A and B are shown apart, each in its own frame.
Chain A
Amino acid sequence: MSVEPNEFANRCNEYRRILLCYAYTCCKSYVLAEEIVQDALVIAHNKREFYFPEADLKIWLISLVRNVWFRERKRQMKDKERRVRLFEEDPTLLFDFEGKTTQTETQHQVLKKCLEKLDEDDLSIIECHYLRNLKYNEIASLMQRTVSWAKMRMVRARMALFNCVKMNLQKLEI
């Protein structure tokens, strides 16, 4: 069945953020996640003839992202063996794709407020991790601390941020 290219592209774009979220969970790199999603959307666009309108487009796109990620993962792993994790194997089992991935602006505002509450150490670690994609050993080296300190502090900072954002979003009833 033929699908109008523009209409199809618009429908795909509706799910772009969900796809990005899943790809990011798998690869833990925002830049790479964007690449993966883009490749998946290119494949979807080229294969749109094979898509049946009655099928769930979101699930189809997610499985494309998963397959592109597997190709990338294979490339990254090379000779190394690493087991496939549950959410990589079956995205729908663990991932709540109906989750709150749409209210971007509110989420960012809440996040901004919560980041302001963090002390400088925690904020440094959060920025090193999310903005600069540094690994524990690099963060430890940059902050002149031990790797175990960086790990422990990262977990605490992330959890503090997570709890703060969650609580504030609940207050706003999002």
Chain B
Amino acid sequence: MKSEKLYAYVNQELTPAEEEQLEKELRTNAELRRLFSELCIHDFIVAEAYQSGAIKPRLSEPSLPKLKQKSPNFNQSPKSPLSQTSWGLIAASVLLFIGLSIYTSVGFKETVPSNRVVSRIVKAGPNVRIAQVDKKITVTGPIDIHEQDRILVPEGSFALIKYSDGSLIKLRDRTLLQLKGGAGGKHALLTTGKLSAKIAPQPKDKIMTFSTPHGEIDIVGTEFDIHAHIQRGTYVHLFQGKVSFRNYNDNSVIQLNNSEWAMIAPNTSFTPYLGNAYRYKDGETLRASKQAEWITVNTTTQTTLDAAGTALTKISLQSSERGTASINLPSLSQLSAKAIVIEFECRTDEPGTELGRRIIATTPPNKMLNPDPRLLQLYKTVSTAKLGKWIRNRYEVAYGSKEFPGWFHMNLFENGRLVISQWEEGTPDQFQILLTHGNILVRNVRVLELVEDPIESK
């Protein structure tokens, strides 16, 4: 029990009062302190073993969830055509049916909905697995998919699913999907991964629904890609037709038309609509936006930091055009700064305005290998509640020290990925404010060299 409490303590799961109580005990109990130390070291060793690759994950990403045959609900349950009352009626009907089955000696196993064939895998790559109620099957050839089955596509593989109406779904690697049929129409639960689909026209009263942990997409008949990631969100790329995309978080719905894409980030109340979708020849999708062309506005202003390193350079930028405002920073290798902080204020009068930032900055080589995950946030949506108000933004953008012999240039956030360009000596570091949608005013940009030194501050 003590160990559990100590774990909870380190993980900040105790209340302040419980924490204080435990700390009292820790101060006086040497044995408890020793246990605490052991737990911390053990915890670190496990994390280190996984993160350093010393221990390979036994389960690949899509197979991480244990294959429970429970009702496939996410946090927010997908749209169900049946109300709770209806479920009660169904339960009663099932009981009645079982009674009748026994009475008439009809085996009820064949009539359980979970055994109904909903579609068929017609082609699959290596090691694709189907998890059924009582067993797991590795797909070696065409095979029927039943209602409760889950399809697991490991890394480097794929699976092609075909419905009787000709609709096709191609599951890409590292994907977990469950298909359902039913009176309300076809339903697919994409827990994680990526799929491309070409859905034949569906009856109006039986539209097909795709659910992800973040939202739900209603399909009448169209061609599209969905990419769901538990932490990054759900992307929908539409190539043909129309779909509606509902955000579970606030129940807002947007309609996507031909060649558009949209994204729901986890726990956001706004579904940004960002523009056109394209598909590469190899099937990979590319996000682009007519509304997000990067046009340089205003003149680039050279900033200087004084020798003391604490002086700030103020730049005022104003733009009502879409585009970027760039600030050139002196090369960090010329400074002894530990970090550079960029601050600016922005204001918009248009709902849904999106502001992004891009950093082209130097960083020590070992930082390059371990990019800070906090920096992988690409866009900041200016909330509608703050329309017309100046919002202060603060970003810590780079670390640097002249002590490091080599410098790399990083171009963060290209399509949400980290792109490292080649090292170019003497290229100025640059911070760009990007306006991708809407209108914006930017003012009071200032650059702050962090010279905070823990030793001196002590």
Contacts and interface: CB of A to CB of B under 8 A. Distances in A.
A108 B55 contact: yes
Contact of A94 (B37, B191, B192, B367): B37
A131 B45 contact: no
A29 B230 CA distance: 18
A99 to B, nearest CB: 5
B9 A30 contact: no
Given A71-B452, A138-B230, A127 B401 contact: no
Interface residues of B, number: 69
B7 interface: yes
B64 A142 contact: yes
Given A20-B44, A30-B51, A94 B231 contact: no
Given A142-B191, A144-B65, A38 B36 contact: no
B421 interface: no
B384 interface: no
A124 B4 contact: no
Given A24-B44, A67-B454, A31 B9 contact: no
Interface string A32-74: 1011001100110111001000000000000110011011000
Which of A75, A83, A144, A162 has the most CB atoms of chain B within a 10 A radius of its CB? A144
Interface string B39-61: 11111111111110011011100
Given A31-B373, A71-B452, A144-B73, A25 B38 contact: no
Interface string A129-144: 0111010011011111
A166 B48 CA distance: 17
A117 to B, nearest CB: 12
B47 A25 contact: no
24 contacts: A21-B44, A24-B44, A25-B40, A28-B10, A30-B47, A38-B366, A39-B399, A45-B403, A47-B453, A68-B454, A71-B452, A71-B454, A87-B36, A99-B38, A101-B41, A111-B45, A120-B66, A127-B50, A128-B64, A130-B51, A134-B231, A138-B230, A141-B213, A145-B70
Interface of A: 20-21, 24-25, 28-32, 34-35, 38-39, 42-43, 45-47, 50, 63-64, 67-68, 70-71, 75, 82-83, 85-87, 93-96, 99-101, 104, 107-108, 111-112, 115-116, 120-121, 123-124, 126-128, 130-132, 134, 137-138, 140-145, 155, 158-159, 161-162, 165-166
Given A108-B54, A115-B58, 18 more contacts: A30-B51, A31-B51, A35-B370, A42-B403, A43-B454, A50-B455, A67-B457, A93-B33, A94-B33, A95-B37, A96-B41, A112-B55, A127-B59, A130-B47, A138-B231, A161-B42, A165-B45, A166-B42
Interface of B: 3-4, 7-12, 16, 19, 23, 26-27, 33-34, 36-51, 54-55, 57-59, 64-66, 68, 70, 72-75, 191-192, 213, 230-231, 336, 338, 364, 366-367, 370, 372-374, 396, 399, 401, 403, 452-455, 457-458
